[in-house]
Structure 1
Amino acid sequence: MTVAQTRHFTRAAELTGVSQPSMSKQIRVLENSLGTPLFVRNRGAIELTSAGEALLPHAERIIIDVEAAEESVREVAGLRRGRVRLGATPSLCDGVLPEVLTAFHRRHPGVDLEVHESGSRLLMRDLARGRLDLALNIVSAGTEHEDIVTTELLTEQLVLVGPPHHDLAAEVPVRDLRDVPLVMARDGYDLRERTNAACRQAGFEPRVAVEGGEMSSVLRFVEAGLGHAIVPQMVVATRPQLTVARLSPRLTRTVGISHRPEEAMSLAARAFRDELVSQLG
């Protein structure tokens, strides 16, 4: 390109920082591979042949495309662009995730964030199939997948919530929930499984008032007086109208961030993983 623009080998070599013999050799190699000369070499002047004229616009487009590709890579490497497909359970979407998303978006406004809400088992399945980059999920037996790395972030306490102005003791034994109508998340969510397990361990099946809701629906149903619910303590922070009680025995669950091996992760996914670990770990 530079030779075609300057019509001079020595000047082109100086502009590109390549020695004149090396540049001449590169052009001869190109002409040999194409099977035709690209330049007419006259003393003191260089002209393009008809083949050279035909090649020139293609060479210009290639240079533009290469420069655009290099800039795209630099943007991604600098996290000016990118995409993170994040999966999270409903309670985590309602609790810890908004603040993390806000902090990450403030640092990397050019990175697109996609949030997929589902239960932990489905999230881990989609992560293993490559449909997600990260999964913010509840760590429990049966959710492990080969080649998936999980880092535990925090252990959160589960509490009992009741309707506004309900007379609720500071601590409620799980066995006392035997005849209490409960609002339950839909089947397949870890919170429903944890509630069922706690009730069965206390010797009874839970009495279900409403089932099938996401976390926000569960809390709204409780606010409406349809029943009580066992939920993570963090989700009630913005709902002071609900009554809250500790459970005995104490119920907890562990939150983790899962992803494929480090070498399979994009730079944007690694950055978001690090943001989660920094804020929650």
Structure 2
Amino acid sequence: MDTRNITYFMAVFEHLHFTKAAELLGISQPTLSQQIRLLEAEVGMPLFDRIGKKVVATEAGRLLHQYGMKMIQAEMDAKSAIQELVSEKRGTVRLAVLPSDLDFQLVPLFVEFKTRYPHTKLQAFSTIFVRDEVLTHKVDLGIGLRGPKDKRLVQIPLGSEPYELFVHASSDLANKHEITLEELTRLALVMYPKGYIGRDLVDEVFREQGLELTTVMEAGSASSLLQLVAAGIGATIQPRELLKQHSGWEDIVTIPIVGPAPVRHMELTYYADRFISKAQHQLAEWLIEFFKSKTN
């Protein structure tokens, strides 16, 4: 089965539109249709149902898409492995990481990686869909919240991190040794918007206890939330290590949460059956060491 035809098939499957797929592939629509017909003849079943102008994948098409992704990735892996063997050029390393505080924390590590591998292009993507990005081969490595076991993935635990309350040092709360969930519901809070994983994780803990948080302001970055706390706008609930990774916030203190505290469990993931370059291995090792150092 020709991987070129598989590539054509994947384009049609993704867009469910022959003309649009042909334009993206840089070929004519009749040529694309002919190649799909040849592929259908080879597998012995139609891959798409054509209902008027509407294109729908058949069961055989959905099955071929599943295995077609593996075929294309296998070809890419083979080329990458050979390229690494004969050339000093290391290609590209793609990393998916949760947005907000994590991408900020990892910047020093990215700088170190680039110094070690100057010819390697490092692409770091902030996304809440880390596992999906790894499973669809859009990235090589992913750092996200721990998920259920998946035999397609290598899943390496990176430790756990409790959330704490961040308040201004001049706050009446600053001298408290701990604070309860119920007390937190009465505070003026600045948080990520709903839909951010960090916010949803915290909200879920409160919801399980029959409680609900209210906010006075919401912002989409860790640095913005810290600025709001420093300005006295409100307090925030964030991972404990966040303050250690941001310098210049001596006027902010953290207070442990009890009853129970929100906790995030992190993991490093990558696809089990794909080629991992030396540069990717090195980045993975550094990421594991980075998170290990945070828990020591």
Deviation string 1:89-117 (CA, Å, 9 cap, x unpaired) is 2221123x123223322322222111111
1:150 to 155, 159, 166: 155
Q: Whole-Å Cα distance in 1 between the matches of residues 187 and 281 of structure 2?
A: 44
Distance apart, 1:159 and its partner CA: 0.9
Q: Counterpart in 2 of 1:103? A: 112
Distance apart, 1:154 and its partner CA: 1.7
Q: Which has the larger radius of gyration?
A: 1
Q: Counterpart in 1 of 2:267? A: 256
Q: Whole-Å Cα distance in 1 between the matches of residues 264 and 242 of structure 2?
A: 14
Alignment partner of 1:264: what SS?
coil
Q: Counterpart in 1 of 2:93? A: 84
Q: Counterpart in 1 of 2:5? A: none
* Aligned-partner residue type, residue 278 of structure 1: E
Q: Counterpart in 2 of 1:246? A: 256
Q: Give yes or no for contact 1:221–1:227 (8 Å, CA) kept in 2.
A: yes
Distance apart, 1:148 and its partner CA: 2.5
Structure 1 runs not aligned, ≥5 long: 1-69
Q: Counterpart in 1 of 2:9? A: none
Q: Give yes or no for contact 1:186–1:192 (8 Å, CA) kept in 2.
A: yes
| Cα pair distance change 1:94/1:170, threshold 3 Å | farther
Structure 2 runs not aligned, ≥5 long: 1-81
Q: Give yes or no for contact 2:152–2:273 (8 Å, CA) kept in 1.
A: no
Q: Counterpart in 1 of 2:21? A: none
Q: Counterpart in 1 of 2:282? A: 271
Q: Whole-Å Cα distance in 2 between the matches of residues 104 and 207 of structure 1?
A: 40
Q: TM-score of the superposition, structure 1-length normalised?
A: 0.65
* Aligned-partner residue type, residue 285 of structure 2: D
Q: Counterpart in 1 of 2:236? A: 229
Q: Whole-Å Cα distance in 2 between the matches of residues 146 and 188 of structure 1?
A: 28
Q: Counterpart in 2 of 1:195? A: 202
Deviation string 1:148-172 (CA, Å, 9 cap, x unpaired) is 3221112112111023421221211
| Cα pair distance change 1:135/1:174, threshold 3 Å | same
* Aligned-partner residue type, residue 139 of structure 1: R
| Cα pair distance change 1:154/1:172, threshold 3 Å | same
Q: TM-score of the superposition, structure 2-length normalised?
A: 0.62
Deviation string 1:18-38 (CA, Å, 9 cap, x unpaired) is xxxxxxxxxxxxxxxxxxxxx
Q: Counterpart in 2 of 1:117? A: 126
Q: Counterpart in 2 of 1:166? A: 171
2:136 to 129, 152, 160: 129
Q: Give yes or no for contact 2:162–2:239 (8 Å, CA) kept in 1.
A: yes
Alignment partner of 1:269: what SS?
helix
Distance apart, 1:84 and its partner CA: 1.0
Q: Counterpart in 1 of 2:224? A: 217
Q: Whole-Å Cα distance in 2 between the matches of residues 251 and 72 of structure 1?
A: 43
Alignment partner of 1:231: what SS?
strand
Distance apart, 1:270 and its partner CA: 2.2
Q: Whole-Å Cα distance in 1 between the matches of residues 258 and 291 of structure 2?
A: 26
Q: Whole-Å Cα distance in 2 between the matches of residues 101 and 149 of structure 1?
A: 22
Deviation string 1:58-105 (CA, Å, 9 cap, x unpaired) is xxxxxxxxxxxx8864335xxx5321111112221123x123223322
Q: Give yes or no for contact 1:85–1:132 (8 Å, CA) kept in 2.
A: yes
Q: Whole-Å Cα distance in 2 between the matches of residues 186 and 103 of structure 1?
A: 32
Distance apart, 1:145 and its partner CA: 5.7
Q: Whole-Å Cα distance in 1 between the matches of residues 160 and 169 of structure 2?
A: 27
* Aligned-partner residue type, residue 155 of structure 1: S
Q: Whole-Å Cα distance in 2 between the matches of residues 187 and 257 of structure 1?
A: 24
Q: Give yes or no for contact 1:165–1:243 (8 Å, CA) kept in 2.
A: no
| Cα pair distance change 1:127/1:101, threshold 3 Å | same
1:280 to 2:287 alignment: no
Taking only the aligned residue pairs, the percentage that are identical comes to 22
